Amino acid sequence: MRALPTLFFICVIDVLGFGIMVPLLPYMGDRFGAPPALITPILGVYSLCQLLSLPVLGRLSDRFGRRPVLMASMAVGGVSYLMLGMATSIGWLVAARALNGLMAGSIVTVMAYASDISLPENRARTLGMMGAAIGIGFMLGPAIGGVLAGNDEHTANFMLPAALAASLALVALALVWLRLPESLSAEQRALHAAERRHSKPLELLRSRPGLRWLVLAGLLVTFAQSTLESIYAVWAMNRFSVGPRTIGLSLLALALVAVSMQGGFVRRLVPRFGEHRVAIAAILSYVAGLVLVALGGSLGTAIGGMMLIGAGSGAFSPCGSALASKQAEPGNRGAVMGVYQSGGSLARVLAPLSAGAIYSQWGHEVPYLVAAAIILPAIGFILAARGQTQSGT
């Protein structure tokens, strides 16, 4: 567990760089003349490429170790941020997002590393700490990116935030290289070689019913989250006439609550109620927040709804990851976590595609209401996964 503080810090820095660029992408697309129905699919390109790569990167980390995958992901991420900053067209923007998505293995590898160094009974707490690190990056990143870009959408500076994001990726890479020991030694990888031979995504889903239900639940929850992320900047820009700085700072409320939940409250809630009950409560918080954002008449009300969504995000993420990790053996933990995260990646492909179209054709508030309706079946999936866990499968 000595590596946990270092892993936490590395995760904060890595996600901070990613978060810096998140609120700027809709404005970049708008500058290049892309309508809302096209901007949201551009956001989904990253997740499409991530969907294809995560199971592969998870298996590679099981075979070759966590450190090489982490360092490769961070190096390529730095290059992609510079490409974003220098983008002059929609095609350039898409290429940068695709490259970033193909090597977006750092999060799943961090989760596998954290699972490697934690006991099953402490796993939700450890993964909650990693979730808090991710939340801190997303909390500070959009605000920093918005401030560096400026509040005038016509003159916003995208290169400065991109250069900072690339620099942070290199700092994270250096910390992995210099300070983070390998959590899965060569001896351990050799010992669990047989488990890796049965770690292909379809095999894992076929042999682990509980994992199937968890992937479906994670997909629906991430769909709701991604709907908010992909349409919020465009929605707030058109509804309240605000710029990147206001968008970045308003996302701070969501991230602040999520970090508080992951960093502190989950550690108290899970031992008392269990991962399954906390996950269900998180889903209900999501639904309430989405409805409040949709039906509220002011930016303040929307921020209140986002705080409820933040509470749901902060509670569900570590619980879902902890439950998924319990479906794995030491030799295929990266593969299992990759499959679990792939459900979220698929949601991040589908949600931007649907959110932009629904927003344009049916009304500005409808994407949030659709997301609230879609997330509700996740409660049933969590209960089904609990049944599979209790039956020992």
Catalogue all structural domains in the chain, each as residue range(s) with its CATH number. 4-177+194-390 (1.20.1250.20)
Cβ contacts of residue 203 below 8 Å, gap of 6+?
A: none
Structure token digits, residue 121? 């009974």
What is the distance between the alpha carbons of residues 364 and 189, in angstroms, rounded to a whole number? 51
Burial of 160 (0-12, 13-18, 19+ CB in 10 A): middle
- Residue 166: CB atoms within 10 A of its CB come to 22
275-295 vs 299-325: helix crossing angle, rounded to 10: 160
Interval 81-106: pLDDT, tens:
999 889 888 889 889 989 988 887 67
pLDDT at 376: 94
Q: What is the pLDDT of residue 392?
A: 37
d(CA 108, CA 218): 14
Q: Do residues 257 and 307 lie in contact, with contact meaning Cβ atoms separated by under 8 Å?
A: yes
Mean pLDDT by 10 residues, the chain (393 residues): 81 84 81 75 78 82 88 91 89 89 80 82 80 78 84 81 92 92 76 57 76 92 86 77 70 77 79 90 94 81 86 89 81 79 82 79 85 94 78 37
Cβ neighbours around 132 below 10 Å, total: 25
Distances (CA, A) of 26 to 38, 48, 193: 10, 18, 44
Q: Give the N- to C-terminal CA distance of the chain in Å, as an integer.
A: 29
Between CA 176 and CA 187 the distance in angstroms is 21
Take residue 258 and report the two structure tokens written for it.
Answer: 């999520």
What is d(CA 109, CA 77) in angstroms, rounded to the nearest whole number?
14
Distance set, CA 261 to CA 79, 81, 315 (Å):
33, 29, 6
Closest CA to 371 of 286, 310, 285, 306: 286
How big is the CA angle at 296 (ends 140 and 144), to the nearest 5 degrees? 15
Q: What is the pLDDT of residue 192?
A: 57
Contact predicate 196/59, CB 8 Å: yes
Asked if residues 262 and 314 have their Cβ atoms less than 8 Å apart, the reply is yes
Among residues 81, 134, 133, 136, the alpha carbon closest in space to that of 103 is found at: 81
Which DSSP category does 120 fall into? G
Helices (H), 65-105: 66-85, 90-102
Helix (H) or strand (E) holding 253: helix 244-260
Q: What pTM does this model have?
A: 0.70
CA distance 163 to 192: 41
Furthest-apart CA atoms within the chain: distance in Å: 59
- Asked if residue 220 lies in contact with residue 107, where contact means CB atoms within 8 angstroms, the answer is no
Cα(219)–Cα(310) distance, rounded to whole angstroms?
Answer: 17
- pLDDT given for residue 80 in this prediction: 92
> Residue 85 corresponds to which amino acid?
G
Interatomic CA distance for residues 201 and 51, integer angstroms: 12
Is 169:17 a contact under the CB 8 Å cutoff? yes
Residue with tokens 């968890």: 214
Mean pLDDT of the residues in the chain = 82
Alpha-carbon distance of 201 to 107, in angstroms, equals 18
Which amino acid makes up residue 250? S
Contact 310, 211 (CB under 8 A): no
Question: What pLDDT digit, counting tens, does each position of 352-391 carry?
Answer: 778 777 887 887 788 889 999 999 999 999 999 886 653 3
Q: Quick one: tokens of 165?
A: 């994001």
Q: What tokens were used for 283?
A: 């889903």
